[in-house]
Amino acid sequence: MFALSQKWGLISPKPVAWLIASDRGVYDAIGKFLEDSAQGKMDVVGPPTIEELRKVRPEERSQMMLPTIRLTMEKTKHHLTQQPCIKVTCSDKDLEAIESWRVQAAAAKRGTKLELN
């Protein structure tokens, strides 16, 4: 759990917390949910994996479907402190996708080029 704001805390798996911290659109959507101006489910589109890109011919890559994950949000309270929290969860498969995105982002930050062959 880390502080999303002074009023709200965040309960989520580490990969989801990374996604929230690294994607302003996701962070803003959570803020809208907290203001009661958005639904409790959000789809997030991410980059394809290297394996997915290898399956598609180069001329088709601009039209390929991108991977999408679904985040579910609910307002709750921390079980010990009773601090208001937002709980953000997703499926195990989506957690794996987010971790793949994190690895790709880290490689790009280091300047490592992921080869397609």
Where are the domains positioned within the chain?
13-107
- Quickly state the pLDDT bin for 18 (edges 50, 70, 90): very high
pLDDT in tens, 36-74: 888 899 999 988 777 777 777 777 766 777 889 999 999
- Which residue in the block uniquely carries the two structure tokens 């499926």? 91
**How much is the pTM?**
0.78
Calculate what percentage of the chain has a pLDDT beyond 70.
87
C-alpha distances in angstroms, 87 versus 11, 83, 110, 116?
5, 12, 31, 37
- Hey, is 13 helix, strand or coil? coil
